[in-house]
Amino acid sequence: MVQKTLNAIAFFTLMFVATGWAQQRETIDVRLTRIEESIKATNQHIVELTKALNQRIEDTNKRIDDTNQRLDALRDDMNQRLEAQTIWLITIRGFIAAGVSVVVWFARQERPVSQKHYNKLVKQDRELVEQFNELESELRNQRRNQEDFAGVIQQQHTAHDHHVDELAQKLRVLETEIGIFKRPAA
């Protein structure tokens, strides 16, 4: 009787252990299936993030190319304006030189210049100086605008680099999590 009881206890214990192992094995299989599905979903998400990142990089590159084209057009326009202003300044200087030459010629003459004519020449001289100063001011403003525009482009580039760094950091975190899921349970 003791033998039968011990056999029954051993049988039930073995059955209990076998059932526990089977349940544990089933739980491990379910967990592994969930982990594999999670890894597949994560991989799909990484692929989607990579595609989105590549698209954003392409869009940013296109915007940078467009900006470069606009800068080139602006630079060409500014060069044309500078050339026109240079020609204008050379012309003004030529007129000033001619005016000074006339004044010197009149001064060497033994006849006096009338006060009215002298005032007119002084007024013309002031007007030429004012025009010259206005042109210099406009040139400084254009240079300042160009420097401001270059600063904006630099800020956009910096913001883009920062965003790419953030996405790279997120990708490293996801890879670490995937690595944790791939390790066998202890």
DSSP sequence for the chain: -HHHHHHHHHHHHHHHHHHHHHHHHHHHHHHHHHHHHHHHHHHHHHHHHHHHHHHHHHHHHHHHHHHHHHHHHHHHHHHHHHHHHHHHHHHHHHHHHHHHHHHHHHHHSSSPPPHHHHHHHHHHHHHHHHHHHHHHHHHHHHHHHHHHHHHHHHHHHHHHHHHHHHHHHHHHHHHHHHHHHHSPP-
Residues in the chain where the model's pLDDT stays below 50 = none
pTM greater than 0.85 (yes/no): no
Residue with tokens 């080139």: 72
Domain interval for residue 24: 2-182
Looking at the structure of the chain, the number of domains it has is 1
Nearest to 67 by CA among 133, 173, 160: 160
Q: What pLDDT sits at residue 113?
A: 61
Q: What is the pLDDT of residues 29-46, one digit of tens each?
A: 777 788 888 888 888 988
CB contact set of 57 (below 8 Å; sequence gap of 6+)? 164
How high is the mean pLDDT of the chain? 83
Q: What pLDDT sits at residue 17?
A: 74
